[in-house]
Structure 1
Amino acid sequence: MECSDCKSNLLFRTVRHCSEPDSSADIKNLEALLNAALRYESGLPLDEEDLQLLYQSGSSPGGARPKALCRKETGSLWIAKFPRHNDTFHVESIEAATLELAKLSGLSVPEFEIQDIGSRKALLVKRFDISDHHGGRYHMISMQTLLQAQGYYFLSYHDMFDVVKAHSYQPSIDVPSLFHQMVFNVAIGNTDDHLKNFCMLHKESGYCLSPVYDVLPDLYEKREHSLSFFPGAGFLPPDRKILQRIGKDLNIEMTGRIIDKVLQVVSGWKNIFQQYHVPESEIQRLEWSINRRIESLLFNDL
């Protein structure tokens, strides 16, 4: 059953409720949505209006981060990501800045924007599984499902490269793109790089790698990545020599150029973070971690 609002691949409902559901909220209700989500997280009572608003928008206030599905006046669907009541970073601004860095490095990212909501900010990310041309949905499947993984923290990037080679209609593009994303994650410190944060879309010509999403630096000094970088390896970030070796094994001719481009862009991370109004105190907290990662990628090529 077709449903442009849904993010899953199957939708079930009873016959008597066969009209097209609208599980998105009007973009004008962002402030009310944010306040309802914050009250929920804080354990405060919610009135019927709050519950209806959260239910209608498909909000997930109890998840890793509160979010809601919103519809703009043009009809386009966007995921609104909200701050949590106990955040110690301006996560939405930092994620927007990180997406901007990914875009500047040459990676494909969805449309995104920061929207002020009173004294707080929300990050709006356009749904990339919906076609701008015909309005239908592209089938989207996570790497966790493709790898039939019971958990999504204990495999490697090598496993994902095998999936892309097997299923992409354009492996000559998608394999270097996944390598590019891996290098970017290493450079910026995106340690939340688990299998659910990578997926493939089925477009007119077949499956291809999705745009980059859910990227952040290592805010809480985890250091270890969620995925290892090749079988038998640990989860700490690899240096340039190891990345060069991985690129060579994948027959990626532009390995050095990809690493250099990512380095060039990520080295200017402070300016981009400032453009997105990340507080200077938070930039200072991230400086040691990001700069150390950049330095590890400055060795000579193999």
Structure 2
Amino acid sequence: KMAGSSGGARPKILTTIDDKNWIIKFASQYDADDIGLQEYKYSMCAKRCGIEMTETRLFKSNTCDGYFGTTRFDRENNRDNIHVATVSAILEADFQAPCLDYNDLFKLTRILTRENNNEIENMFRRMCFNVFAHNRDDHAKNFSFMYDEKLDKWKLSPAYDLTYSNTYWGEHTTSVDGNGKNPGVKELISVGMKAGLKKGRCKDIIEEISEKVQEDLGKYIKDSTR
């Protein structure tokens, strides 16, 4: 196992496979042996929950359950760069400590996407997934926006770095309506309605994602001390 790098907590390589640009991650010295399989299962569940992600794959290994890989979203036709900005960069927010609330992310989403309801709902799905799937490493660098030069507009980038995670402070790095320790349905609905979503729609999405996360990821989240 290796240590991480400036590119993230886990070591990784950039490579081209079948004319696609891939990021393949390896376990750090602090990771569980099944971290690659776990992140792959999280990615598949997220897609089932209506969260956009790029192509993901579990690469075979002789020493572990496999290595998680994902194609890059910041390249067009695998060559031209697409302008991507993290929330950390846009807001000059410290990604190493809790400093944001999901209300802040929704305000930014509404401004950058010009009140695009699909993008607002997309952010709501990610918030719900992070809460139900126990992804507490939801810091300001793990949310990004992409600029479409032809249409002159911003949209949320595909989701990334979705996996089971705890934090040093025992809370979500991004709080949910002021609650970082144990946010639930009440806080999720409050944030969604403040962002302009209907209460009924919020409830439907919450129920959908909660059920799918339990079905697909129950083994990872049943013990929060894992």
Under TM normalisation by the shorter chain, which class is it?
0.7 to 0.9
Question: 1:85-133: CA deviations, max 9, x gaps?
Answer: 453341111111111111001110111100112223211110011123x
The 8 Å contact of residues 189 and 223 in structure 1, kept in 2 or not, is answered as: no
Listed as ranges, the matches of 1:259-274 within 5 Å are: 259-270=206-217
Counterpart Cα distance in 2 of 1:129 and 1:168:
18
Instruction: Name the counterpart of 1:211.
Output: 158
* Larger CA Rg, structure 1 vs 2: 1
- Which residue does 2:224 correspond to in 1? 289
Cα distance in 2, alignment partners of residues 187 and 202 from structure 1? 29
Q: In structure 2, what is the equivalent of residue 111 of structure 1?
A: 55
C-alpha distance in 2 between matches for 1:202 and 1:178: 16
Structure 1 residue 207: Cα displacement: 1.0
Under a length normalisation based on structure 2, what TM-score does the superposition of the two structures give?
0.86
User: Are the structure 2 counterparts of residues 61 and 243 from structure 1 closer, same or farther at C-alpha, using a change threshold of 3 Å?
Assistant: closer
Residue type at the aligned position of 1:287:
K
2:34 corresponding residue in structure 1: 90
Query: Contact conserved, 2:136 with 2:166, CA < 8 A, in 1?
Result: no
TM-score, structure 1 normalization: 0.66
Task: State which drifts further: 184-193 or 258-267.
Answer: 258-267
Alignment of 1:1-302 (within 5 A): 38=1, 41=3, 60=5, 63-72=8-17, 74-120=18-64, 121-132=66-77, 135-151=79-95, 153-169=98-114, 171-203=116-148, 204-205=150-151, 206-218=153-165, 223-230=170-177, 233-253=178-198, 254-270=201-217, 283=219, 286-289=221-224
- How far apart are the structure 2 equivalents of 1:222 and 1:93? 26
> In 2, Cα distance between the equivalents of 1:174 and 1:259?
16
- Secondary structure class of the residue paired with 2:22: strand
Unaligned regions of 5+ residues in structure 1, if any?
1-37, 42-58, 272-282, 291-302
Identity of aligned residues (%): 26
**Any unmatched runs of 5+ in structure 2?**
none
Cα distance in 1 between the residues matched to 2:87 and 2:12:
22
Which gives a bigger RCO, structure 1 or 2 (Cα 8 Å, sep 6+)? 2
Amino acid corresponding to residue 263 of structure 1 in structure 2 = S
What is the alpha-carbon distance in structure 1 between the residues aligned to residue 127 and residue 217 of structure 2? 21
- Equivalence for 1:20: none
- More displaced, 75-84 or 142-151? 142-151
The structure in which a higher percent of residues are helix is 1
Q: Deviations over 1:228-270 (max 9, x none)?
A: 123xx23113121221222222221221111111012112025
Q: Does the 8 A contact of 1:218 with 1:289 survive in 2?
A: no
SS of the counterpart of 1:123? strand
1:108 alignment partner, SS class? coil
CA contact (8 A) 1:61 1:67 kept: no
Task: Give 1 or 2: higher strand fraction.
Answer: 2
SS at structure 2 position matched to 1:125: strand
Alignment RMSD = 2.5
Residues 242/234 of structure 1: CA separation in 2 closer, same or farther (3 Å cut): closer
1:248–1:63 CA distance, 2 compared to 1 (3 A): closer
